[in-house]
Amino acid sequence: MGTTFIIIAVFVGVSALVGGVAVMLRGRGEEKLEGRLSELTTGRTSRLLQEGAIKDASLMEAFDTGHNFFEDLVTKIGRLGLLFEQADTSLTATRFFAISGMVAAAAAVTPLAAGLHPGLAPVFAVLGGVLPLFWLMFRRGRRMKKFAAQLPDALELIARALRAGHSLGSGFQLVADEMSEPISKEFQRAFDEQNLGVSLDESLDSMTDRMPNLDLKFFCTAVALQRQTGGDLAEILDKIGHLIRERFRIWGQVQALTGEGRLSGIVLLALPPALFVAVWKLNPDYVSVLFTDPMGKQMLIGGIVMQVLGALVIRKIVNIKV
């Protein structure tokens, strides 16, 4: 009990320290930004401010949440910022890593507080640390699916607007006004970029980066070719919309045919953990051999590896591309 209390106290203290430092640094950054904005709006500059501009810039680069160590690390290990944008979240790399660290620490303390074996703490910490990433990927996937379902209606709406004599930009604005998110937000952003001087090709490329959808790439390619060679863009958009609807219909048939396999995979993957928990509740000494005996540890690791391989094989079987 004393060890658990010490661990919890250390976790709370470190979290409070990190939070306090983050608030202090955030406040300093906001003060410097307000000072610079006041200089630009009032037009009053002095030699002292000009001499301190370089120092302020270096401090901002060191403490700004957008240009700190985590942001530089993100640019090296992956495009995490693009993932935030695709998931439509206001998280930054600093907040994301902080949340992941806090969840991992809380998950590591959980088995100790529950009276479980201390060897489970690293496992719980790893699982807790990747939970924010899983949530982010789930949010991104759900947004992508909703965008794909809205795309045929958006293309038909743009085609009708073109037949009525409107421009392509007006069609984008019509989609943004008449449809719901996420497609309205993406087309509104593309329309705003064009109004700010960005070319149509660049705005469409940015949209495909934010929404990596194959049908959207077909649409962007069709628009680019039509601008170069001419043709009836409304008819092309109607055909693309019809193609997308037919793909959804075939995908629904595939989902119905593979439903039994997916359900079998869920049962087979959930059965070993459920059986482990049941035996742990009924006879803890019988299961504790897996954590105390060297052969038991090897068997436990082998079982986890086989579970992961089985999940990948089942997913490969039932995941049919359409």
- Run means of pLDDT, 10 residues per run, the chain, 322 residues: 48 48 43 48 41 42 45 55 84 86 87 74 84 90 91 91 89 91 91 89 89 88 85 87 88 83 84 87 84 84 87 81 68
Range of the domain at 272: 258-318
Q: Which of 115, 124, 74, 119 is nearest to 95 (CA)?
A: 74
Distances (CA, A) of 75 to 82, 171, 304, 316: 10, 35, 32, 31
* Residue 53: per-residue pLDDT: 41
- What is the distance between the alpha carbons of residues 143 and 180, in angstroms, rounded to a whole number? 12
- What is the distance between the alpha carbons of residues 85 and 209, in angstroms, rounded to a whole number? 10
- What is the distance between the alpha carbons of residues 88 and 81, in angstroms, rounded to a whole number? 11
Whether omega before 152 lies within 30 degrees of 0, making that bond cis, reads no
Q: Are residues 176 and 107 in the same domain?
A: no
- What is the distance between the alpha carbons of residues 111 and 155, in angstroms, rounded to a whole number? 52
DSSP-assigned letter for residue 70: H
Sign of CA dihedral 131, 137, 141, 142: positive
Domain of residue 173, CATH code: 1.20.81
Q: Are residues 123 and 214 in the same domain?
A: no
* Residue 158: per-residue pLDDT: 92
* Residue 192: per-residue pLDDT: 92
Q: Are residues 282 and 241 in the same domain?
A: no
* Residue 184: per-residue pLDDT: 92
Instruction: Please say which residue of 133, 165, 199 terminates a domain.
Output: 133
Q: Are residues 125 and 210 in the same domain?
A: no
Q: Are residues 288 and 184 in the same domain?
A: no
- What is the distance between the alpha carbons of residues 292 and 314, in angstroms, rounded to a whole number? 32
Q: Provide the token pair at 26.
A: 């955030």
Radius of gyration of the chain (CA): 27
Q: Provide the token pair at 215.
A: 């049908």
Q: Are residues 71 and 158 in the same domain?
A: no
Q: Are residues 85 and 195 in the same domain?
A: no
Q: Are residues 129 and 149 in the same domain?
A: no
- What is the distance between the alpha carbons of residues 281 and 274, in angstroms, rounded to a whole number? 11
